[in-house]
Amino acid sequence: MTTASRLPDPYGQGGGANLADILERVLDKGIVIAGDIRINLLDIELLTIKLRLIVASVDKAKEMGIDWWESDPSLSSGARRDELARENAELRERLARLEQLELGRTREEEAP
Amino acid sequence: MTGLRYVYAVCRPFDAPLQAQLTGVGGAPVKMLAHHGLVAVVSSVPEGDFAEAPLREHLEDLDWLGATARAHQQVVDALTAVTTPLPLRLATVFRDDSGVRVMIESGEEAFRRTLDRLDGRVEWGVKVYIEGGEEPAEAAPAAKPVSGRDYLRQRRNRAQEREDRWRAAERFATRLHGTLAAHAEDSRLHAPQNSALTRGSGHNVLNAAYLVPRAHSEEFVELVDHTKDEEPGMRVELTGPWAAYSFVDPEGRGAGEAAGTGGTGDTSGEAE
């Protein structure tokens, strides 16, 4: 057995691991045994936890200048509206140009 | 010891002393419960927190969950320093010691098999991030589009830049994973973390775990260190050594990737 051998510092004691790393392992990995107290951890799946992390930290994150979700259409209805508006504008523009093209072509055809 | 029994891990008996003052969930002292040549590492937890109803409620509380997860991990970490523990999932709780003994008996064979397989190995976590702003082109707004065509071209260029960055990141991550997997006994690819709110910046593109013999850990860590400056715009992050959380199941749970080393000789029967 080599279990007593020194492991390289600074990585001892889960160094560098953040709460997400720890939660990922203790909630999602490891041996699953049905104890006397039956809790289905799948009820609170990791995804939910992560969303909760986000929700719980919104203010803190904003302080830190992280606000990516505000521009992420799947997380912010405001962003979804912006995205739709942008797409809408773009489509109108394309349509207008196509109509012009079409109009030009028709004129050419009509021209003797 | 009154209250319920919280089990952190199962391991073989070991002589090395655990760090003094090791405490578990709720600050309770950690105790070894030996049975049938195996040891369950347990501590007492109050019914008021760990009976079904309060536990369910607590798990919804991020602060409580975070503190409990850290306490759980701290015990498993201490064990990893002196032996090879099989880490149990968070909040595995029994009524009393005899419940724990029954658990050991019913899982005995699988525990031994898994302990044999993992003996002397640890898990290293490696994550790769795309560094820097997510949208460089938008951070520095380009010249105002003068026409619809101009606007569309700018938009296309931005999309192209982004795609190129992702391609490069994917190539780098794939290559790195290949190298590391070749130096590990086994590996698992986990879902990338939503990294926006965890420490640091960047987008997580690789989140992998590698099973490495303790004796080879130093080389493995050096190998990871060497890759750090290999690719501009990428950040490589190493965590560990962890107990082999990701490898307690021989095949990997769910849509597990095939084991890197063909060691599938004794995987008949499940680990659970």
Chains A, B: CB pairs < 8 Å: 179
Interface probe for A, chosen from B42, B47, B68, B73 (most Cβ of A below 10 Å), is B73
What are the boundaries of each domain within chain B?
A: 4-118, 121-247
Per-residue pLDDT tens for A59-70? 455 554 545 445
Q: Which residue of A has its CA nearest to B83?
A: A3
Residues A91 and A76 in one domain: yes
Residues A59 and A78 in one domain: no
Q: Is B83 helix (H, G, I), strand (E, B) or coil?
A: coil
| Average model confidence (pLDDT) across chain B | 85
Q: Which of B11-20, B119-128, B134-143, B195-204 comes out lowest in average pLDDT?
A: B134-143
Residues A55 and A71 in one domain: no
Whether residue A37 and residue B60 make contact (CB cut-off 8 A), yes or no, is no
**Alpha carbons B64 and B66: distance in angstroms, whole number:** 5
Contact predicate B211/B123, CB 8 Å: yes
Contact predicate B208/B236, CB 8 Å: no
Per-residue pLDDT tens for B45-61? 999 999 998 998 888 77
Q: Which residue of A has its CA nearest to B218?
A: A8
Q: Is B13 helix (H, G, I), strand (E, B) or coil?
A: coil
B146 touches chain A (CB under 8 A): no
Long-range contacts of A5-10 (CB under 8 A, 24+ apart): A5/B214, A5/B215, A7/B81, A7/B122, A7/B214, A7/B217, A7/B218, A7/B241, A8/B217, A8/B218, A8/B221
Q: Identify whether A1 is part of a domain.
A: no
Average pLDDT of span B199-228? 90
Whether residue B90 and residue A18 make contact (CB cut-off 8 A), yes or no, is no
| Average model confidence (pLDDT) across chain A | 65
Q: Which residue of B has its CA nearest to A34?
A: B92
Residues A23 and A49 in one domain: yes
Q: Identify whether A3 is part of a domain.
A: no
Give the range with max mean pLDDT: B13-17, B31-35, B229-233: B31-35
Q: Identify whether A10 is part of a domain.
A: no
Work out the pLDDT band at B245, boundaries 50, 70, 90: very high
Whether residue A25 and residue B241 make contact (CB cut-off 8 A), yes or no, is no
Work out the pLDDT band at B137, boundaries 50, 70, 90: very low
Q: Identify whether A21 is part of a domain.
A: yes
Q: Identify whether A86 is part of a domain.
A: yes
What's residue A38's pLDDT? 81
Whether residue B245 and residue A66 make contact (CB cut-off 8 A), yes or no, is no
Residues A75 and A106 in one domain: yes
Whether residue A37 and residue B90 make contact (CB cut-off 8 A), yes or no, is no
- The domain defined by B121-247 folds into Alpha-Beta Plaits (3.30.70)
**Alpha carbons A47 and A25: distance in angstroms, whole number:** 13
Q: What's the number of domains chain A is made of?
A: 2
- Answer yes or no: is the ipTM higher than 0.90: no
Residues A21 and A57 in one domain: yes
Domain of residue A103: give its range: 67-112
Q: Which of B71-85, B95-109, B140-154 comes out lowest in average pLDDT?
A: B140-154
Q: Identify whether A55 is part of a domain.
A: yes
Q: Is B124 helix (H, G, I), strand (E, B) or coil?
A: strand
Count of beta carbons in the 10 Å neighbourhood of residue B6:
30
